[in-house]
Amino acid sequence: MQRYSGFGLVKHALSHHENWQRQWRNPTPKKAYDVIIIGGGGHGLGTAYYLAKEFGIRNVAVIEKGWLGGGNTARNTTIVRSNYLWDEAAALYEHSLKLWEGLSQDINYNVMFSQRGVLNVGHTLQDMRDIQRRVNANRLNGVDSEVLDAKGVQELVPAMDCSQNARYPVMGASWQPRAGVARHDAVAWGFARAADAYGVDILQQTEVTGFKIRDGQIHGVHTNRGDIEAKTVGCVTAGNSGVMAKMAGLKMPMESHPLQALVSEPLKPVLDTVVMSNHVHGYISQSDKGDLVIGAGIDGYNGYGQRGSYPTVEHTLQAIVEMFPSFSRVRMNRQWGGIVDTCPDACPILSKTKVKGLYFNCGWGTGGFKATPGSAHVFASSLAKGEMHPIAAPFSIDRFNTGALIDEHGAAGVAH
Amino acid sequence: MFYIYCPYCGEHREEEEFHPKGEAHIARPADPESCSDEEWGDYLFFRTNPRGIHHEMWVHAVGCRKFFNITRNTATYAILETYRMGEQPSITDDTREPLEVAQTPTETTPADNLEGVRA
Ligand SMILES: Cc1cc2nc3c(=O)[nH]c(=O)nc-3n(C[C@H](O)[C@H](O)[C@H](O)COP(=O)(O)OP(=O)(O)OC[C@H]3O[C@@H](n4cnc5c(N)ncnc54)[C@H](O)[C@@H]3O)c2cc1C
Ligand SMILES: [Zn+2]
């Protein structure tokens, strides 16, 4: 793999940027691998990367039915933070945030991780009590977090209406300075390129259509390009995970919903942080290109259509205009949907299954982008060792039968 | 945007009048006290979540405020029928989905039709 650097950029300029190496190969599938990862989103590609880099398992295939990142990875609004309430979730998301902080160097790919901070705004007394509780819990877990009053919020975000004239006046916010945003495609591409350099086969346009299970042990997968064998299979298919589970004869506590996002026409810099509100129910940031990146809630019905309904778009924009009246004339450029796999406790599933050797990493719902490197890392460790990593262990599928749920509906509040 | 036929009001109304309320036909265990953790967890949390035909409850929140059921395709989003609580769907996974289903009632006076209305 040719390393990317400032020097390389200058060197390639001399040949009009026509000689850049392909970022990854396009191999034909082998008959068998040590590990198969299903799903070429950030979590799947990252898992393959850490398997190869940290655990020396390089005979790995990532099987993706479409193109890399074409699922939720490149449909999301890229908010990265770790200010979750419960110890288990804070450990997982903070592990991830630490990996984000060195990710561009680690995979030699600029994922444009920008630690511009995230505000979770409160508009009621109860919001503020919840924010205080969460900030205190965060601090006990070593997660940077502060409580701001309305004045503090207004200083950080001059464009926001923090006055008493607002219909739901801002009372304060939690503030995580180390949080921020990143470039979503770069995460998929960067992990793909780095994994490929270790010899991982990335098989695009290859759909898993069934599992080969004998005597309760996984033996491989059926695909539209023939059968591929492996004794360890990790299924990382986000919104399609319910369908995948059914193929393996498993049941899941998840439902798939459309989640939409919008971007506006590009504006001059107006918002240099991320603003989220559970109560008014919307969130917004501004990309480096200048477009406002906007989202809110899922469409309430089950759906696999990668599109949502107009009432949801309308509610989303109402919330944004409520917080930022000056954005009322901004035109929206694009709108799209992804299929998110939501769990009853708003936490993911990182788990073994009843089929030996078959693992699932799913249920990230509306907020798994921030967890990409951390989830991939602990999942790779679990696949390599055959035992769930201690950070992953509480997220077992068994929790829905034992009752040990990890209720993050507060911290997950507005879907993102 | 869905245009949904409420089997109680006997009219098509816009999606915004309704709220989806999750998978239909999940029976509460008759004797919860004697359920195993497995059975109780399955009842509370596990769902079929199909890509295709799905039976789901909706509530006509700003209309008659009654719950009813919809059979809908979760991939195409086509609404195949709506029917009252307590009734069974006439379109299920293994009955082949009709190619074109008009969402209009076929019976004469839908509101009086105690069988519920295929819509
Ligand atoms: C609109 C929107 C906004 C969001 N905003 C945020 C945010 O701001 N912050 C945040 O942290 N999270 C956010 N999320 C959630 C986040 O995008 C996801 O949790 C995360 O990207 C999931 O990554 P993944 O790699 O697990 O899944 P995906 O990227 O969806 O990858 C799964 C892959 O599996 C493939 N696949 C499925 N079935 C098969 C099969 N049978 N065979 C082969 N391949 C298959 C799919 O094609 C897909 O590429 C948002 C999501 C959406 C939709
Ligand atoms: Zn009605």
Domains along chain A with CATH numbers: 114-180+255-341 (3.30.9.10)
The reply to whether residue B49 touches residue A242, judged by beta carbons under 8 angstroms, is yes
Cα of A240 to nearest chain B Cα, Å: 9
* Count of CB atoms situated within 10 Å of the CB of A210: 13
The reply to whether residue A401 touches residue B47, judged by beta carbons under 8 angstroms, is no
User: What tokens does B111 get?
Assistant: 């509101």
Q: Which CATH class is domain B3-113?
A: alpha beta
Q: Which residues lie across from A143 on neighbouring strands?
A: none
Residues of A in contact with B72 (CB under 8 A): 301
- Cα of A1 vs centre of ligand 1, distance in Å, is 27
DSSP 3-state assignment of A57?
A: coil
pLDDT of residue A347: 97
Burial class (CB in 10 A: 0-12, 13-18, 19+), A91: buried
C-alpha B37/C-alpha A91 separation (Å) is: 27
- Considering only the beta carbons, identify the residue of A301, A310, A402 that sits closest to B37: A402
pLDDT of residue B96: 53
Q: What values do phi and psi take at A202, rounded to 5?
A: -105, 115
Query: What parts of chain A have a pLDDT lower than 70?
Result: 412-416
Domain residue ranges in chain B: 3-113
pLDDT of residue B95: 58
Closest CA to B9 of B80, B110, B89: B110
Lining ligand 1 with CB less than 6 A are A 38-44, 63-66, 70-73, 75-79, 207-208, 236-238, 240, 244, 259-261, 295, 338, 340, 364, 366-370, 416
pTM, full prediction: 0.94
Q: pLDDT tens digits, residue range A234-255?
A: 999 999 999 999 999 999 999 9
A179 Cβ contact list (under 8 Å, min separation 6): A79, A80, A81, A82, A83, A97, A115, A116, A117, A118, A274
A308 Cβ contact list (under 8 Å, min separation 6): A258, A259, A260, A298, A299, A337
pLDDT of residue B112: 37
Relative to beta strand A232-235, strand A358-362 is: parallel
Q: pLDDT tens digits, residue range B58-113?
A: 999 999 999 999 999 999 999 999 999 999 999 998 655 544 444 444 443 333 33
- Cα of B95 vs centre of ligand 2, distance in Å, is 27
DSSP string across B32-68: GGG--HHHHHHHHH-B---SSEEEEEEE-TTTT--EE
SS3 of A335-400:
EEEEEEEECCCCCCEEEECCCECEEEEECCCCCCHHHHHHHHHHHHHHHHHCCCCCCCHHHCCCHH
Chain A stretch 271-330, residues whose beta carbon is closer than 8 A to a beta carbon of chain B: 300-305, 309-311
Cα of B115 to nearest chain A Cα, Å: 25
User: Which DSSP state fits A32?
Assistant: B
- Cα of B118 vs centre of ligand 2, distance in Å, is 15
B78 Cβ contact list (under 8 Å, min separation 6): B72, B101
C-alpha A178/C-alpha A98 separation (Å) is: 10
B62 Cβ contact list (under 8 Å, min separation 6): B16, B17
List the residue whose alpha carbon is closest to atom 41 of ligand 1.
A208
pLDDT of residue A414: 67
Probe ligand 1: pick from A47, A63, A72, max atoms within 8 Å of CB?
A72
| A273 close to A152: Cβ distance less than 8 angstroms | no
Q: Helix count (H) and strand count (E) of chain B?
A: 1, 6
List the residue whose alpha carbon is closest to atom 33 of ligand 1.
A39
